[in-house]
Structure 1
């Protein structure tokens, strides 16, 4: 039987598509094996604040959110850093200290309900012990230094409670540092107390986190710290040029030169220019609506406004490939030893990329990296090895007892 050129081309296309599909399936299966076999660390998951607003038992499967025990096991997640997040308003009204303690209580309650599934890890050694015992080790990262309230005794208090990193500021400049989101820059970088705090964190073995900081503040923190620093949930500004919240190449290289690590945020607005622009336009519209009708930003009316806005203007979700592009860029300019994962699950709303919607989906990203010819050793580093190296260095560099 003879075939036309068109038939041959179609047959060839079918064979190629089948081969590509088979390769993708093989990579996904291998990715699942790698995430099951290697330590997987995610440095930023907003479970405590999520439960503060809408409680669910995350020791079981949950209807909402992006983290629960069954999905974490499915994704291979061993060591999530639970974000102890306090909004900028909590510094203004003086509630940050109490809120942070309540959120730590929330994490302790999760462990108390399921001590066979979870533990709290205040050091790398504790994390490794818990993972070896078959548990998910929960570390604590404080997002926003507002609860410190200018008092180094409060820093010591939170270290005793298990806090292992502090993001010095959040959406507004505070008493510690200028924020990348805030047009008002009180300090042109770190405040005098902020500089003192960085040194105290070094002494106590608490990682300094430069996510959310202005460029000047981030550069000062990197230069001032005697141990490596982290960016717990930031991506690359190369892909979002007008978004200071992401790290530019200069800061990324400076962080790497001090042996630090940037942990890639998965939120679509951190990943692509299109999603970032959408969020800016939506934010302006939401602010105008809230001001016009006197509605609080967290009110149910704003949820309805967002749903209506999205129904008229579809959100441009990023993809797994887009996230991998950020990892590629860090590797290109700083090396494989300086990148990891800081998803911001439960913290970026309905903006997560297609294929990375919750903690069960890490293998999809690993499969993409395998397709890009990342080695098994490379993947082991970015899944958790790099962050553990930094955490161990920070703890080893501590010179003051916690007690």
Structure 2
């Protein structure tokens, strides 16, 4: 679940009006259906908790359902077991919600066994792919349900959790958050360091999306297994946005053998989108101060402000720039897809609006000269390599 962070108020023509709709070629669609596509961050569980729909059939809302996933070639959505940061303050609340969200994914697979199956391993993914099933893998976004007890790690591993994002929008008992100015641990907590080792030993991938820079570097020091950034983009294009990764961090990730899965949310992709909300909020606050917070005139002025400054959606090309930058910086083996579908609200780029649009991404890669073997690495092989490494290390510890 991405925080759609700060935003930039320079009036910008909406990207939809600048370009015609993207048209993926027959070749791009063929590659999408031919090869596995793994997306390491899709927020269906929390979406359905808030607004239930039957995603085994076409839905009116959201970014994911079975027909769109099949059309886009998506084989392995890592469903995010997203835990709001504030639940850490209530003992047992994070743990309870995590189990409820896992239950919902098990129920989804149970209701449609001809469409979905839970994937507990890479071998499960491969077997289910041969059967034409979409594999539901699960990652826990925010480690607060561990609640300081390594037995809970075992419990969630047994239920199918295959990565844990150490923190989310606030620091927790494991790690500092990139969004939280209170760096209470200056990185990982003592328990957080124990947890990383325990995750290595049991076969749960360490996800460093959302954590502070210090926590990232400390996680690399502690881990014996490659880590992932399940849904992060590049600070190169969003200066000052700590939630994204710097070039030095990407180099460190590559040296570790890990992989950054690119987040599609516009506020992760472009500086203008990243700053837009904060600038709109600042202008709106001035209007409220001048005209009265609840006055009709203030409401009308704010509505005009928003209408005259439309959200500056990122484009497919700008998402591709992030992939290109990683490849040029450290090589083709360290980048993948972590879209944050259903997690970033109405901030998805033009051309990548839902899970049916992976062929557009493939078309963009083809247009930029990537060959089929390189595209395979981005679509699934890089993540499979890290997942296998986690499995193999755990099998020997």
TM-score (norm 1): 0.87
Q: Distance in 2 between matches of 1:394 and 1:305?
A: 54
Q: How does 1:1-400 map to 2 (within 5 A)?
A: 28-94=25-91, 95-282=93-280, 310-399=306-395
DSSP-derived class of the 1:398 partner: helix
Kept in 2, the 8 Å contact 1:204–1:400? The answer is: no
Kept in 2, the 8 Å contact 1:165–1:207? The answer is: yes
Kept in 2, the 8 Å contact 1:269–1:279? The answer is: no
**Which whole-Å deviations, capped at 9, do the CAs of 1:101-151 have from their partners, x for residues lacking one?**
000011011111100100000111111111111100010000000100101
Higher relative contact order (CA 8 A, sep 6+): 2
Q: Distance in 2 between matches of 1:276 and 1:82?
A: 25
- Show the counterpart of 1:7: none
Deviation, 1:191, is: 0.3
Q: Distance in 1 between matches of 2:273 and 2:244?
A: 14
Aligned residues: 368
Larger Rg: 1
Q: Distance in 1 between matches of 2:82 and 2:282?
A: 24
Q: Distance in 1 between matches of 2:158 and 2:284?
A: 40
Runs of 4+ off more than 3 Å = 282-290, 304-310
Deviation, 1:324, is: 0.1
CA pair 161-284 structure 1, distance change in 2 beyond 3 A? farther
Deviation, 1:400, is: 7.5
Q: Distance in 2 between matches of 1:377 and 1:220?
A: 33
Superposition RMSD on alpha carbons, in Å? 2.3
Q: Distance in 2 between matches of 1:97 and 1:399?
A: 27
TM-score (norm 2): 0.88
- Show the counterpart of 1:17: none
Q: Distance in 2 between matches of 1:268 and 1:282?
A: 16
Deviation, 1:196, is: 0.3
DSSP-derived class of the 2:346 partner: coil
CA pair 286-123 structure 1, distance change in 2 beyond 3 A? farther
- Show the counterpart of 1:301: none
Deviation, 1:307, is: 7.8
